[in-house]
Amino acid sequence: MRLFVLVAAAGLASLAFTLPRPLLWAQDAEKPAIAPTPRTINLTQEQRFIIRENVKDLKLTKAQASATETIGDRVPDDIELHPMPPEIGSKVPQAKSHSFFVKEGDNAIVLVSPSDRRVADVIH
């Protein structure tokens, strides 16, 4: 019996060193989990492609590469928003009410809700 207890204790001790940390320690109570802000517009990959293809040839002023692209963030007033072109609005109806800007560098297209200037989605 004593041998069984020693073997079991040794097995548990070795298991403690092989388990990933989250299983051993509880989440830090001072850092609450924050869910990401959901997109306010849902686009298929095909719709994203349509928007990207139609925007890439437009001669637009671009926002700085450091401009926000986090969904739910408010876009600063100094970033110029462009209306969605009619050809995109006819092919992607849920996007026609949105504005957008294009970032320098990676040319990300940032869709913005015009009512509150919040980022709705980002197309890379």
More confident: 89 or 114: 89
Q: What's at 91, amino acid-wise? A: K
| DSSP assignment letter at 95 | G
pTM: 0.69
The answer for 15, left when phi > 0, alpha when psi is -120 to 50, beta otherwise, is alpha
Task: Give the list of residues 6+ apart from residue 111 with CB closer than 8 angstroms, or none.
Answer: 41, 51, 95, 98, 99, 100, 119, 120, 121, 122, 123
**Which whole number is the average pLDDT over 24-31?**
55
Summarised one tens digit per residue, pLDDT across range 104-117 is 999 999 999 988 99
Reported confidence tier of residue 21, pLDDT bands at 50, 70, 90 = low
**Which whole number is the average pLDDT over 117-124?**
95
Q: Tell me the domains of the chain and their CATH numbers.
A: 45-123 (3.10.450.160)
